[in-house]
A = this chain, B = another copy of it.
Amino acid sequence: MKFNLGCNLTYSLSAESTLIFNIALCNNRVQHILHEDLGIQGDATVDHYTSSMGNRYSRINAAAGSLTLSYEASVELNAIEKPPQSITEVPPAELPLEVLPYLYPSRYCESDRLLRFAQTEFGELVPDYSRVTAICNWIYENVTYLSGSTDTQTSAFGTATERVGVCRDFAHLGIAFCRALNIPARFVTGYAYGLQPPDFHAYFEAYLGHAWYLFDPTRLVPRTGLIRIGTGRDAADVSFATLFGPVMMEEMKLWVDCISPGEEPQATDEAIAFVELP
C-alpha cells in the first residue's frame, strides 16, 4: 500500500530561535520511503539526527521573521497482519532486556500509580492480545474524545480520572495500563490516512508474542493506514515540534493520500505489527 503525504508548517519568529522537528517518516523494511523532500523557507540553517529508535529529528536555527517547513514523502507500507488469537503476553522472566524501559513509568504514563486500577479492571483477563484490546475498549468507552480538552501537561494519571482527552491522552492511558500489567508499551506518532480534520496522530504499541503490535483506542482511523514518524516512551520523546524562543505557529497543513487504488486501508480485527522495528 502506497501513500503520498506531507505537511506545511509556518511559524513567525519575533527573534532568533531554535526549532526541533520530528515530522519526517521513520524508514525501515516494513515502512519504506520511496521519495521524500524537506524544504525550508526562511533565513535558517538545519542539521539532522536519527536516533537509535529510528526517529529523525531536524534542528532549525532561524533568524527572526517567517519560517515555513515543507515535508512531503511517498512511502510504501507493508504492515504484517496476524490473527490475534495466537498472540500471548511475554512474562518479565522472558522479556528481552532491551524492552524493559517500556515497562517503566514515564512523564505522561505514571503506570506506577495505576497498578491497582489496572489490576482491578484488567487483572483477571486472559494474558494475551485480547487483554490489550480490552484496555483499548475500556478507554474508548470511558474517555470522551474532545479537542482542546487537555494540554501538554496532561498525563495518564489525570486522564484515568478526568475521562476526557485527545489521541495522545488515549495513547498515554493505554500505555500506562499496559505497563501496570507488566506489558511493555510505547508511544507512536504518525500520519493517519483518513483522519478528519487532517492532523498528526498518536497511538501506541504493546509488546506481545515477541513483537510490537499497534493499538489505537481512539478508533478514529484504520490501523493499517497509520504511517510512523516517531517511537518513544511517551509524547516527551517524540514531540512534533520543540520550540526554543519566541515562536508562534501561523499555519499548519497536512495531507495523506492513498495511491494504491482499491487497496485503501480498512478497519480490521487482525493484529497489526511492524515487526522489523527495533
Output the least CB separation between A55 and chain B (Å): 10
Output the least CB separation between A127 and chain B (Å): 13
Measured CA separation A116–B144 after assembly (Å): 9
A106 on the B face (CB < 8 A): yes
Measured CA separation A100–B18 after assembly (Å): 13
A199 on the B face (CB < 8 A): no
A101 on the B face (CB < 8 A): yes
A61 on the B face (CB < 8 A): yes
CB contact list, A225-262 vs B, under 8 A: 236-237, 239, 242, 244
When the two chains form their complex, are residues A162 and B116 in contact, meaning their CB atoms are under 8 A apart? yes
Residues in B with CB closer than 8 Å to A57 are 97, 100
When the two chains form their complex, are residues A244 and B59 in contact, meaning their CB atoms are under 8 A apart? no
A263 on the B face (CB < 8 A): no
Output the least CB separation between A179 and chain B (Å): 10
Contact of A52 among B18, B52, B104 (CB under 8 A): B52
Measured CA separation A160–B120 after assembly (Å): 12
Task: Give a binary string over A97-115; 1 marks a CB under 8 Å from any B CB, 0 the rest.
Answer: 1101101111100101110
Residues in B with CB closer than 8 Å to A164 are 116
A113/B153 contact (C-beta < 8 A), A100-B57, A106-B236, A236-B106 known: yes
A104/B161 contact (C-beta < 8 A), A51-B98, A59-B97, A142-B120 known: no
Contact of A153 among B100, B112, B142 (CB under 8 A): B112
A31 on the B face (CB < 8 A): no
A65 on the B face (CB < 8 A): no
Measured CA separation A52–B52 after assembly (Å): 9
Closest to A61 in B: B93
Measured CA separation A112–B161 after assembly (Å): 11
Measured CA separation A44–B149 after assembly (Å): 32
When the two chains form their complex, are residues B107 and A161 in contact, meaning their CB atoms are under 8 A apart? no
4 A-B pairs closest in CB distance: A49-B97, A116-B163, A92-B244, A104-B236
Give me 15 other A-B pairs in contact (C-beta within 8 A), A57-B97, A59-B92, A112-B153 excluded. A18-B93, A20-B100, A59-B97, A100-B242, A103-B242, A104-B239, A105-B236, A106-B236, A107-B107, A110-B153, A113-B153, A114-B161, A116-B163, A116-B164, A157-B161
